[in-house]
Amino acid sequence: MVFFIFMDATIIAFKDYLQKEKNYSIHTLMAYEADLLNFKVFNCMNFEQDSIDLVNYSQIRSWIVSLVEEGLSVITVNRKTASLKAFYRFLLKTKQIEVSPMLKHKSLKVPKTLQIPFSEKEMNAVLEGMEVGTGFEGIRDYTIVELFYATGMRRAELIQLKCVDVDLLNNTLKVLGKRNKERLVPILPAVKESLERYKQERMCLGEVVEGDYFFLTKKGEKLNNSLVYRLINSYFSQASEKVKKSPHVLRHTFATHLLNNGADLNSVKELLGHSSLASTQVYTHSSLSELQKVYQKSHPRNKEQF
């Protein structure tokens, strides 16, 4: 049986609300739309119900079970159900429903995973091994690695960084974070040198297709997610045996190294662009581990023999 799935007027209105009222990015809007359409297809196939406005929670629970049986991670399932929750909140807000079917829903419990940051030794090994690089791509790659480590930027933030956002005169970067929230990040002297060197190489590119963006391919095009991921994974595979080697691990490394060297949690929160300290506290486990080592080494009671 073939189902032709059309976009509900309510889904279109919901997307319009998220874009205009909440200022969500295009990527977030696409994710919400995909989740809602996925749920709509499920309801068509299993309950012969084309509209998702007036479903009940048993239908939603069946969908969640199917997602888990497909092998999707708990985080992915929770993200999809969060899309539904937001959709029904919108229907409540616009008085299209009186009670949300997600009212009593609880997110699936996420198993705790330990994010292991790169050590300072590994970071130095990568940067020294790159030797600032030669040619456009070598210099660009070195600058990207150094910028990730020095600022804790997200991958999307680095990709979206524009030439006008890089203020080398005042040593700041204007970073556009989640939900289009802007923040200023200071530029360290060593990073400034790398940025200036890259700018010189960038000026020597031939045809530039997307010139507004600061980091480009050698063809003058804007970087993409997979290219940046491969770049980080490739360089760090030569210096680290850690399983996960990604831009997000570099963000984690930035926060952990700052905290280990005495930075206060609130300052790290501002640099990372988090809206609350709760988000930043994810990065404190390594700092606590470092503190524990110092504590055990220094406390008189630990020196006593029992």
pLDDT digits (tens, 9 = 90+) for 6-20: 567 899 999 999 999
**Would you place residue 132 in the very low, low, confident or very high pLDDT band (cuts 50, 70, 90)?**
low
Q: Does 2 score more than 50 pLDDT?
A: no
Contact 175, 161 (CB under 8 A): yes
- Give the model's pLDDT for residue 297: 65
Contact 26, 180 (CB under 8 A): no
Name, in order, each residue with C-beta under 8 angstroms of 95's C-beta and a sequence gap of 6 or more. Answer: none
Residues across the chain: 306
Please, what is the average pLDDT of the chain?
87
**Would you place residue 169 in the very low, low, confident or very high pLDDT band (cuts 50, 70, 90)?**
very high
pTM of the model: 0.65
Give the sign of the dihedral formed by CA 135, CA 137, CA 138, CA 143.
Answer: positive
Domain spans, the chain: 9-93, 120-294
Tokens of 81: 């159900």
Q: What is the mean pLDDT of residues 166-186?
A: 93
Tokens of 40: 């709509």
Active-site residue numbers?
154, 178, 248, 251, 274, 283
**Would you place residue 283 in the very low, low, confident or very high pLDDT band (cuts 50, 70, 90)?**
confident
Look at 97-101, 107-111, 180-184, 225-229 and tell me which has the smallest mean pLDDT: 107-111
- Give the model's pLDDT for residue 262: 85
Name, in order, each residue with C-beta under 8 angstroms of 31's C-beta and a sequence gap of 6 or more. Answer: 79, 83
Domain 9-93 shares a fold with domain 120-294: no
Q: Which CATH fold would you assign to the domain 9-93?
A: DNA polymerase; domain 1 (1.10.150)
Q: How many CA atoms, within 13 angstroms, populate the side-chain half-sphere of residue 226?
A: 0
Q: Cα 172 to chain center, whole Å? A: 21
Q: What is the mean pLDDT of residues 115-140?
A: 86
Q: Residues 27, 30, 35, 41: what is their CA dihedral angle, to the nearest 10 degrees?
A: -160
- Give the model's pLDDT for residue 285: 64
Percentage of the chain surpassing pLDDT 70? 88
Q: What is the mean pLDDT of residues 156-183?
A: 94
Q: Does 238 score more than 80 pLDDT?
A: yes
Q: What is the mean pLDDT of residues 36-57?
A: 89
- Give the model's pLDDT for residue 305: 43
Q: What is the mean pLDDT of residues 225-230?
A: 95
Q: For the domain with range 120-294, which CATH number is right: 2.40.50.100, 1.10.443.10, 1.10.1040.10, 1.10.8.50?
A: 1.10.443.10
